[in-house]
C-alpha cells in the first residue's frame, strides 16, 4: 500500500505542476488613479468629500468662492448686450446705404464705409460672446466634481485655503475607480509576446476567483521587471491595493475551442440518456434484422404503390410469378 501511495504521489505531482504552470504572482493596484486639481485660483469655500469615501460620477468634491467669477459673467454679458445693439445699428445703416446707392443718391465710398462698420460690429460681438462663454466656463470650474465612480484616496484641501493656479495647479484630491481593481503581474519577454489587450484572465484573490480582462502589457525597462500585465477585475468588498493575488491568462484558442462530445457514460436521445453500449447493441440488432429480411421481389406488373415487399408478395402469389 505504501508503494502504491508513493506511485500515486509521483503521478499527481506532475499534474499539479502543470496546472500551476500558467499562473503568475500578482499584486492588486488601484485602477485609473488620478490627481485632481482646479485650473482656477481662489479661496476654498467648501470641501464636502472625505478620505476613504466612495462617491458617484459628478459628486461635488470641492467648491471655490464663486463671487469673483459670477461678477466676470455679469460683466461679459453686459458687454455682449451692448455690442449686439451696435451690430444691429450697423446692419440697419448698411441696408439704408444699399438702398440709397441703388437709387444713385450716394457714392460707392459711403456704401463701403457702411459695410466696414457692419463687419467691425459683427467681429466685436463675436469676441464678446467668446469672452462670455469663457467666463461661464470659469464659473463652472469653481466646483470640482468626480469624473467617475471614485474612491477618495487622499484629500489635500481644507476650507479657507488659497489656491494659486497660475504656475502649477496644486493637487487637491487623489482618486481611484471605486468599481474596478487592477491585478498586476510580472512577465518574461517570452510570456509577454503572446499577451494581447482584451484577453480573458482569471484572478484569484483571498481564495476567490474573479474573471478579468487584460488592459495592457507595459514595458518597465528594469532588469528584474521587464514586462508587466494589467488585468482589470470588478472591485469587491475588502479589495485594497497591495493585496497579493495570482492570475491565469486564458488564451483565445481555449475560448474558441468546440464543446466536447458526450462521454460514453451517456448521450441524450429523445429525452432519454442512452449509453454508447446501448446504441451499439441496438445497431447490431438492426443490422441482424436487415440481413434476415428477404430481398425485394422482382416482377412485372407491379404498380408504384405496390413496390414494398408485402404488396409484391401478395401480387406474385396471385399471379404465380416467382422472384
- Report domain extents, the chain: 24-30+179-255, 34-62+151-176, 67-140, 267-316
Rounded CA gap, 131 and 139, in Å? 12
Q: CATH code for 24-30+179-255?
A: 2.40.30.170
Helix 67-102 vs helix 108-140: crossing angle, to nearest 10 = 160
Distance between CA atoms of residues 71 and 76, nearest Å:
9
Question: What 3-state DSSP class applies to 42?
Answer: strand
State pTM to two decimals.
Answer: 0.64
CA–CA separation, 305 vs 175, rounded Å? 84
Per-residue pLDDT tens digits of the chain, which is 323 residues long: 444 444 444 444 443 433 345 789 999 999 999 999 999 999 999 999 999 999 999 999 999 999 999 999 999 999 999 999 999 999 999 999 998 888 887 788 888 999 999 999 999 999 999 999 999 999 999 999 999 999 999 999 999 999 998 878 899 999 999 999 999 998 888 888 888 999 999 999 998 999 999 999 988 766 666 788 999 999 998 899 999 999 999 886 554 554 555 555 444 444 444 545 555 566 666 666 655 555 555 544 444 444 444 444 454 454 444 54
- Residue identified by cell 413496390 is 307
* 279: CB partners within 8 A, 6+ apart: 267, 269
Determine the topology of domain 67-140 in CATH: Helix Hairpins (1.10.287)
Q: Output DSSP code: residue 239.
A: -
d(C-alpha 204, C-alpha 182), whole Å: 12
On the 0-12 / 13-18 / 19+ scale of CB atoms within 10 A, 86 is middle
Establish whether domains 24-30+179-255 and 67-140 are of one fold: no
| Cell digits of residue 93 | 445703416
**Alpha carbon distance 245, 100 (integer Å):** 85
Q: Own/partner pairs for 77-80, CB < 8 Å, 24+ apart?
A: 77/132, 79/128, 79/131, 79/132, 80/125, 80/128, 80/129, 80/131, 80/132
Amino acid at each position: 500500500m505504501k508503494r502504491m501511495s508513493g506511485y500515486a504521489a509521483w503521478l499527481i505531482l506532475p499534474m499539479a505542476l502543470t496546472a500551476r504552470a500558467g499562473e503568475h504572482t500578482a499584486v492588486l493596484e488601484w485602477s485609473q488613479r488620478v490627481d485632481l486639481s482646479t485650473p482656477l485660483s481662489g479661496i476654498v469655500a467648501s470641501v464636502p468629500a472625505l478620505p476613504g469615501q466612495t462617491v458617484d460620477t459628478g459628486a461635488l468634491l470641492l467648491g471655490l468662492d464663486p463671487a469673483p467669477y459670477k461678477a466676470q459673467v455679469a460683466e461679459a454679458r453686459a458687454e455682449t448686450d451692448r455690442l449686439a445693439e451696435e451690430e444691429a445699428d450697423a446692419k440697419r445703416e448698411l441696408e439704408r446705404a444699399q438702398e440709397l446707392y441703388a437709387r444713385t443718391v450716394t457714392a460707392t465710398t459711403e456704401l463701403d464705409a457702411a459695410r466696414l462698420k457692419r463687419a467691425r460690429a459683427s467681429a466685436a460681438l463675436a469676441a464678446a460672446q467668446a469672452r462670455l462663454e469663457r467666463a461661464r466656463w470659469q464659473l463652472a470650474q469653481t466646483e470640482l466634481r468626480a469624473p467617475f465612480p471614485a474612491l477618495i484616496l487622499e484629500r489635500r484641501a481644507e476650507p479657507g485655503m488659497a489656491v494659486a493656479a497660475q504656475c502649477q495647479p496644486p493637487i487637491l484630491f487623489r482618486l481611484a475607480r471605486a468599481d474596478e481593481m487592477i491585478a498586476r503581474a510580472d512577465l518574461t519577454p517570452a510570456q509577454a509576446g503572446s499577451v494581447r489587450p482584451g484577453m480573458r484572465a482569471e484572478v484569484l484573490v483571498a481564495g476567490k476567483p474573479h474573471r478579468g480582462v487584460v488592459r495592457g502589457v507595459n514595458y518597465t525597462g528594469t532588469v528584474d521587471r521587464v514586462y508587466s500585465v494589467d488585468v482589470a477585475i470588478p472591485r469587491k468588498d475588502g479589495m485594497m491595493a497591495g493585496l497579493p493575488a495570482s492570475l491565469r491568462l486564458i488564451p483565445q484558442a481555449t475560448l474558441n475551442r468546440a464543446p466536447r462530445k458526450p462521454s460514453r457514460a451517456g448521450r441524450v436521445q429523445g429525452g432519454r440518456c442512452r449509453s454508447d453500449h446501448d446504441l451499439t447493441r441496438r445497431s447490431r440488432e438492426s443490422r441482424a434484422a436487415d440481413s434476415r429480411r428477404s430481398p425485394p421481389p422482382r416482377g412485372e406488373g407491379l404498380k408504384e404503390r405496390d413496390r414494398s415487399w408485402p404488396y409484391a408478395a401478395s401480387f406474385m402469389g396471385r399471379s404465380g410469378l416467382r422472384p
